Amino acid sequence: MGLELLNEVLEQTADRVVASKTVTPADDYLRDHFPSFPVLPGVLMLETMVQAARRLIEPRDPQYARHVLGNVRALKYGAMVRPGHTLVVEVTLLKEPEPGRFDFKGVGTVRETPDQEPRVAVSGKFSLRPIND
């Protein structure tokens, strides 16, 4: 569909997925965000959670892989994700309020050093809907 951000699905059940995105110095979007202090843009943190959510619902119906972001609520950003860091997102399906629409909660964490506790980089609730609604 567009820029594939997920590097790996680490865990998956029927209602939860854990996936990762490693930021590399070669990622094109870092040139502009920001040249002297490159960080993963917040919108791409959200998109990483959206892509994980699509992977979660795709087994129900392959058409769900084309779902788009419907709305976002209570989105918060915390730690920055820099080149060399890995954003690990955990997305949980909350409900299907009507057929083909899905509500999720997600959280993305990052470890700035291997021995450091993970810090929240992004969290919030969002929905996916069919592309032509």
- Tell me how far apart the alpha carbons of residues 55 and 89 are, in angstroms, rounded to a whole number: 12
Catalytic annotation present for 33: yes
- Tell me how far apart the alpha carbons of residues 6 and 114 are, in angstroms, rounded to a whole number: 20
The 3 state secondary structure assigned to 49-118 is HHHHHHHHHHHHCHHHHHCEEEEEEEEEECCCCCCCCEEEEEEEEEEEEECCEEEEEEEEEECCCCCCCC
Catalytically annotated residue among 33, 82, 101, 125: 33
Q: Is the peptide bond before 34 cis (omega within 30 degrees of 0)?
A: yes
- Tell me how far apart the alpha carbons of residues 69 and 17 are, in angstroms, rounded to a whole number: 17
Among all residues, which ones are annotated catalytic?
33
